[in-house]
Amino acid sequence: MGYSKKVRREATQLIQQRRLDAEREAQFRREKIFAEIPEAQSFERSIASCGIRAGRAVLKGGNVHEELQKLRAESARLQKEYEELLNSRGYSVKDTEPQYTCKKCNDTGYVELDNRTVVCSCLRNAMVEIACRELNKKSPLNLCTFEDFSLDYYSKEVREGYPRSSYDQLSMIYKKCRDYADNFNEHSPSLLMMGMTGLGKTHLSLSIANEVIKKGYGVIYASAPTIVSQLEKEHFGKQKPEDESVEETLTGCDLLIIDDLGTEFNNKFTTPAVYNVFNSRISAGKPVIVNTNLKVSELNEIYSDRFVSRIIGEAERLDFFGDDIRIKKKASQG
């Protein structure tokens, strides 16, 4: 997944700040410990001296092996006594060292792998988080949770032509969505939420997004028109040079939620663009949640058969039916 200079810069600054914070906190603890146990600092100096003397012994030559063995033994003895001193006063050597957030790279953002310096997972995760945050700036991600989703507005009447009541149907969908969020991973299945407006598709998909974000995953939630608008700006050169690569970010995030599929303006660019994002994610085994107010036959009128069959074939379908609960909510609040 590619990232702009702006995203890489912000992510690098975030990792560097973590390192600085860890080192400042360690220095504060060291000063406190040494003020309380002055002899501890003397031990540290003696241990450091062993290292310096070892370097001088190598440069000096002569019986280097024997000299280094003596210095190693002396250093080991000092280390043991130092640890015992700290332990006796309720501390450990770890208390004098920086506690980095990432143990793999010590908050540098890079690790050595097969004699190569590569980007650490912590820096990659930071770039995902920042790129997703930028695309989500106008999304209502904080508006809906599972806790404020109510089944009280759904009818328990089984209408003709339906297998169950809308109450029972939404109870089943609610449980599926909660289980999906609880067990989410980067290769979770895709979901297709279909049904008329005002039945809870947006609320439940936003609830999933909130839970998945809490787990530390990168989530992008956007309406189909917003996604198309961003892709058009990028494709036709309306994005600023430092802006994110929208298509790569949409493709590379851990979970992409597309709301209101079918409401975007369709032309020779937009329809293939949306399909390419969806197809790239499915091919990479990455989940997509698609919400639409349209029936399959109506989707077929807008998109290619290949696109619709891809969505239907790859995503678990959740059918929402019943009356618009927003009307009932408004009536109950009035």
Would you list the DSSP string of 109-175? SEEEETTEEEE-HHHHHHHHHHHHHHHTTTS-TTS--STT--STTS-----TT-SS-HHHHHHHHHH
- Going by C-alpha positions, the residue among 257, 265, 263, 261 that lies closest to residue 307 is 261
Q: What is the structure's pLDDT at 265?
A: 66
Helix/strand/coil for 82: helix
Helix/strand/coil for 88: helix
- Going by C-alpha positions, the residue among 126, 127, 284, 141 that lies closest to residue 208 is 141
Question: Among the CATH numbers 3.40.50.620, 3.40.718.10, 3.40.50.300, 2.40.40.20, which is that of 136-333?
Answer: 3.40.50.300
Long-range (24+ apart) CB contacts under 8 A made by 274-280 are 274/224, 274/227, 274/228, 274/231, 274/307, 275/303, 275/304, 275/306, 275/307, 275/310, 276/247, 277/227, 277/231, 277/247, 277/250, 277/251, 278/307, 278/310, 278/311, 279/310, 280/251
Beta bridge partners of 221: 257
Contacts of 300 by beta carbon, 8 Å cutoff, 6+ apart: 308
Q: pLDDT digit of tens for each residue in the chain (334 aa)?
A: 445 677 788 889 999 999 999 999 999 999 999 999 998 888 888 888 888 887 787 777 767 788 888 888 888 888 899 889 889 999 998 999 999 999 999 999 999 888 888 889 899 888 877 776 765 666 666 667 899 888 988 999 999 888 999 999 999 999 999 999 999 998 899 999 999 988 999 899 989 988 888 887 888 888 888 888 878 777 666 545 444 467 777 888 889 999 888 887 676 777 788 888 888 888 888 999 999 998 888 888 888 788 888 888 889 999 999 888 877 776 666 5
Q: What is the structure's pLDDT at 241?
A: 44
- d(Cα 208, Cα 216) in Å, to the nearest integer? 13
What are the start and end residues of each CATH 3.40.50.300 domain in the chain? 136-333
Q: What is the structure's pLDDT at 242?
A: 46
Where residue 4 falls (left for φ over 0; alpha for ψ -120 to 50; beta otherwise) is beta
- d(Cα 324, Cα 213) in Å, to the nearest integer? 29
- d(Cα 205, Cα 208) in Å, to the nearest integer? 5
Q: What is the structure's pLDDT at 194?
A: 94
- Predicted TM-score (pTM) above 0.75: no
Q: Which two tokens stand for residue 28?
A: 């504060």
Cα torsion for 93, 96, 101, 104, to the nearest 10°? -50
Q: What is the structure's pLDDT at 334?
A: 56
Residues 241, 275: contact at Cβ < 8 Å? no
How would you list the strands of the sheet with 190-194, edge to edge?
219-223, 255-259, 288-292, 190-194, 315-319
Q: What is the structure's pLDDT at 243?
A: 47
* One-letter amino acid of 70: K
